Amino acid sequence: MEHYYTERPRSEIKENNFSYEIKGIKLNFVSVSGVFAFGDRIDKASRLLIENFRPSGASNFVLDVGCGFGPIALYIKHRYPHLQVTGVDINERAVEYTKINARKNNLGIEVLKSDLYEGLHGRNFGDIVSNPPIAAGKALNTRLITEAREHLIKNGAFWLVAFHNKGGKTLKKIMNEVFGNVEDIEKSGGIRVYRSIF
C-alpha cells in the first residue's frame, strides 16, 4: 500500500494549482497526488505551525523534516528571508514538487531527498520544524524527535505540530523526555504546536 511517506510513489500524478494566504503572504502552489497533503489549501496543522513559528536565533539555518510539497519551508523563507531553509522528505515526488513550488515563488531554499536526518550528516540547525507523519507509526516519529538533538545547535528549537488527541500527546511526552522541556506554543481546533529548546 502506498502512503505519502512512500519513497517512490507509483500512483498516477494528479496536480492541483492554488494560491494561499497566511499572515498577509500569498504564495502559489502545485500540490500533487501521493504527497501530503494533496488538495487546494494548506492543511490546518501546517498552517498553525507556519503562523506561530519564530526563529530561535541560535543560527540562521532551519530544517523542515518531511516537507511534503513545501508549504512550511517556503512560508518560513518568505517571512524570514535571512534564514537558510532546507526541506527534506523521503518521498521523491515531494522533493520534486517542493523544488517546483520554490521556483514558482522565487524562493531560494535547499531541497534534499532524505530519510529523516540520514542525508544531513554533520549538519546542524538553529531550528528544526516538522508536521510529522503520525500514520508512519511511533517508532519513526520517536526517531524524528530523538535524532533532532544531533542536528540542533545549542539553544536551538525543535518544533512539532500534531492533533493532541491523535498521537500528539505521546509525541509531546517524548519531546519532554529527549529535551527535558516542552511547551505548547499554540492550541487550535485540537491541534497543538509544541516546542522544545535544546
The domain spans of the chain are 43-197
Look up cell 494560491; give the residue: 19
Per-residue pLDDT at 5: 59
Q: What is the dihedral of CA 130, 132, 138, 140, to 10 degrees?
A: -70
3-state secondary structure of 11: coil
- What pLDDT is recorded for position 34? 85
Instruction: Give the mean model confidence (pLDDT) for residues 132-138.
Output: 84
Parallel, antiparallel, or unpaired for β 183-188 and 191-197? Answer: antiparallel
Mean pLDDT value across residues 76-84:
98
Superfamily of domain 43-197: Vaccinia Virus protein VP39 (3.40.50.150)
Q: Are 160 and 145 in contact (CB under 8 A)?
A: yes
pTM above 0.85, yes or no: yes
Q: Which distant-in-sequence residues (6+ apart) come within 8 Å of 65 by Cβ? A: 88, 116, 117, 128, 129, 130, 132, 144, 148
